Homo-oligomer: A and B are copies of this chain.
């Protein structure tokens, strides 16, 4: 992986613009001054921790990342899964409000927050893009509030499966990239409830499972369960 120096797990960005940078190196399409540096994390490796200084913004190239918050007694709430193409931790503020960890071996692009902020203060277009991304993150979070506050376990799991399916291409058949624990901590349930709910959905013919990870959704039936 070029353009990268690693020093005790922390990415050190080379600031010179590499010649012939590929388009996917950019933060946004049409913003060539913001070049990311590739970086990799192993399965379960921490990308950053809550409270740490927020120096970078991340864009997932391959693999997946989860961001979460924890209470002192260990209760955990996952606030998002970040799949290829997603940007995360582009909020403002000095320190990280989450911990981020790689679900599987993951490649990301890191962008200096400084550079992004400088670009935003100079270019209204960049700033508007950032506004838009924060706004869509907010919409997503508000939808998830409704799920956490008001939906039953079956509804949560069914919603989750349809969401992952959509983000993974919408074929209806895919491998869950996360463990039961991650799903539970995302949905505000326990692993046992997630597991039981999956078997229940399978018995109702709303999905089929092959092994623990692969699922084939009967989307019409799942939609009936969610039934906005």
Interface residues of A (CB under 8 A from B): 69, 71-72, 75-77, 79, 90-93, 97-98, 120-128, 130-132, 134-139, 141-146, 148-151, 185, 187-188, 227-228
Contact = CB atoms under 8 A, between A and B. Distances in A.
Given A71-B228, A149-B77, A120 B130 contact: no
Given A77-B149, A128-B121, A135 B93 contact: yes
Q: What is the predominant secondary structure among interface residues of chain A facing chain B? A: helix
29 contacts: A69-B145, A71-B228, A72-B227, A77-B145, A77-B149, A92-B131, A92-B135, A92-B136, A93-B135, A93-B139, A97-B142, A98-B142, A120-B124, A121-B125, A123-B124, A124-B127, A127-B127, A127-B128, A127-B131, A128-B130, A134-B137, A137-B138, A138-B138, A145-B145, A148-B148, A148-B149, A148-B188, A149-B185, A150-B188
Most interface-central of A69, A127, A136 (chain B CB within 10 A): A127
A179 to B, nearest CB: 17
Given A120-B131, A124-B127, A127-B131, 19 more contacts: A71-B146, A71-B150, A72-B227, A72-B228, A76-B150, A97-B139, A98-B142, A121-B125, A121-B128, A127-B127, A131-B131, A131-B134, A134-B135, A141-B141, A141-B142, A144-B145, A145-B148, A149-B187, A150-B188
